[in-house]
Amino acid sequence: MRKGRTGHPAGTARPRGCTRGAVGYICGMAVTRHVIRAPVADVYAVLADGWTYSDWVVGTAHIRDVDPHWPEPGARIYHKAGPWPLSIRDSTVVVACVPGSRLVLRPRLWPLGEAEVSIALEPDGPAGTRVTMAEEFAAGPLRWVQTKLNDLALHRRNAESLRRLGDFAVRRRVPAAR
């Protein structure tokens, strides 16, 4: 079968709810990209410190505990998300980790559900990092209501999260004034 430029059969339209990926389309997820003016090692150091997540992940109110082997696969961050008195206590588990380049997380927020978040780091010039965050609902009621509106909300939230992540990574490079 002949394939068109999109990687789908020639003459077919882009699948509904999908965005163009590096090859073909990424369907059913919010993809956010951001360039941080800090080296990959500094950005990854923030990701590897589970205690910082409430500082840069929008919606996380408090980190209750972090497994000592974070960010190895299977390690968890125990968090509280959302405003009081509606905050929910749950956890995020590491699904996969390639130190310095990729982290895949499974945040839980039951009874609302679970998401899968992939964070990829690539060098951008001599002292920059291109971060790509892809998030999709993976289980629970939120998965049933996945729409363009949800993707837009996730994209905006993730754009702010990546901006905050960048602030932390850049501050690692600049010594505090004494």
In a domain, 34, yes or no: yes
In a domain, 178, yes or no: no
In a domain, 73, yes or no: yes
In a domain, 13, yes or no: no
In a domain, 96, yes or no: yes
In a domain, 107, yes or no: yes
Domain count of the fold of the chain: 1
In a domain, 100, yes or no: yes
In a domain, 143, yes or no: yes
Q: Tell me the three state secondary structure of residue 95.
A: strand
Tell me the residue range of the domain where 119 lies. 29-173
Given a cut of 70, the residues of the chain with pLDDT beneath it are: 1-29, 110-112, 140-153, 173-178
Q: What's the pLDDT at 141?
A: 60
pTM attached to this predicted model: 0.77
pLDDT in tens, 56-95: 988 888 999 999 999 999 999 999 987 878 888 899 999 9
CATH number, domain with residue 146: 3.30.530.20
